[in-house]
Amino acid sequence: MSLVLYHAPKSSASRRLRLFLEEKGLSYEGHVINLAVQEQHSPAYLRINPMGVVPTLVHDGRALHESSTICEYLDAIRPEPPLRPADPYDLAQMRNWVRYVDGLISNLIRFNWRHGMAAGAARMTEAEFEEMLKSVPSEERKEAWRRAARNPYTEAELDDSRRALLAMLDQMEGMIENDALIGGRYGLADIATAPFVRRIEEEIAPDAFETRPNCASWWQALTRRPAYARADFGPFLA
Ligand SMILES: N[C@@H](CCC(=O)N[C@@H](CS)C(=O)NCC(=O)O)C(=O)O
């Protein structure tokens, strides 16, 4: 089978998919999309990912987008090792958890885009910036670009986002069983959450584990997995 991955090293959705691919033992041809120069908005890339975001996985010539959808697809075509719960209730819980985590992305963006993305956009003239925005497919992302490049998030807004991300850890603290989030078995819920936790521990709230022992143990177990090292999660700030 031919798998071609379009991704960015520091992107959380790309990290999720790389970790999933590694857990499955699937090899792929990787192409880095340079987000700092808006390669994700180029006409060629928009043809395979109309949302203008990474990652995209092309399987035997057919493009797939949305990292969690791609992970489920891979689990369906390569069932071993299973990374989705077999039990229908646990499967439903897993999907709702991943949906919740994905819904937190705007909070992560407030922290992440202050680095490479904002700096790249800050170098553009107003005319260049407005021209670039025309190729951003979603209104939400246009607004995120305007904020990161021209009107940086305030400390109060960053605090709100930090609180939202820590609330995720608080939920995890009550869910974790056997160092896994759903049904006591490692899988997509853990893999989907890992890139967010990586950013929390690295920059957003480095002391978060001190008061959350289950999360600390979960994170230690996850980061000791050989697939985690191969998926190459960082550092973000280098
Ligand atoms: N829900 C999407 C999110 C994809 C996404 O937001 N990707 C970010 C990097 S993590 C991106 O491409 N940002 C660039 C942009 O929005 O211009 C997924 O899971 O695939």
pLDDT at 225: 98
Rounded to 5°, the CA angle 83-56-123 comes to 130
Instruction: Give the residue whose CA is nearest to atom 9 of ligand 1.
Output: 11
State whether 10 and 104 are in the same domain. Answer: no
> If you measure from the C-alpha of residue 145 to the centroid of ligand 1, how many angstroms do you get, rounded to a whole number?
12
For residue 50, is it within any domain? yes
Pocket of ligand 1 (CB under 6 A): 11-13, 35, 40, 52-55, 66-68, 102, 105, 141
Domain of 30: which CATH number? 3.40.30.10
Query: Rounded to two decimals, what is the model's pTM?
Result: 0.96
Closest ligand 1 atom to Cα of 41: 17
Greatest Cα pair distance in the chain? 54
State whether 104 and 180 are in the same domain. Answer: yes
pLDDT at 122: 83
Q: What is the 3-state secondary structure (H, E, C) of 134-146?
A: HCCCCHHHHHHHH
Structural domain of 40:
3-77
pLDDT at 123: 86
Domain final residue, candidates 14, 48, 77: 77
Number of domains observed in the structure of the chain:
2
Rounded to 5°, the CA angle 190-50-93 comes to 25
Task: pLDDT tens for the chain, 238 residues: list them.
Answer: 899 999 999 999 999 999 999 999 999 999 999 988 889 999 999 999 999 999 999 999 999 999 999 999 999 999 999 999 999 999 999 999 999 999 999 999 999 988 877 888 888 899 999 998 998 988 988 998 899 888 989 999 999 999 999 999 999 999 999 999 999 999 999 999 999 999 999 999 999 999 999 999 999 999 999 999 999 998 888 7
For residue 171, is it within any domain? yes
Residue 97 to residue 187: CA distance in whole angstroms: 12
Instruction: Give the residue whose CA is nearest to atom 2 of ligand 1.
Output: 66
Closest ligand 1 atom to Cα of 66: 20
Instruction: Give the residue whose CA is nearest to atom 13 of ligand 1.
Output: 53
If one residue of 45, 53, 110 were mutated to test the ligand 1 pocket, choosing by the most ligand atoms within 8 A of its CB, it would be 53
Domain of 173: which CATH number? 1.20.1050.10
State whether 30 and 108 are in the same domain. Answer: no
State whether 43 and 105 are in the same domain. Answer: no
State whether 109 and 182 are in the same domain. Answer: yes
If one residue of 14, 54, 69, 111 were mutated to test the ligand 1 pocket, choosing by the most ligand atoms within 8 A of its CB, it would be 54
pLDDT at 37: 83
For residue 137, is it within any domain? no
State whether 26 and 105 are in the same domain. Answer: no
> If you measure from the C-alpha of residue 213 to the centroid of ligand 1, how many angstroms do you get, rounded to a whole number?
30
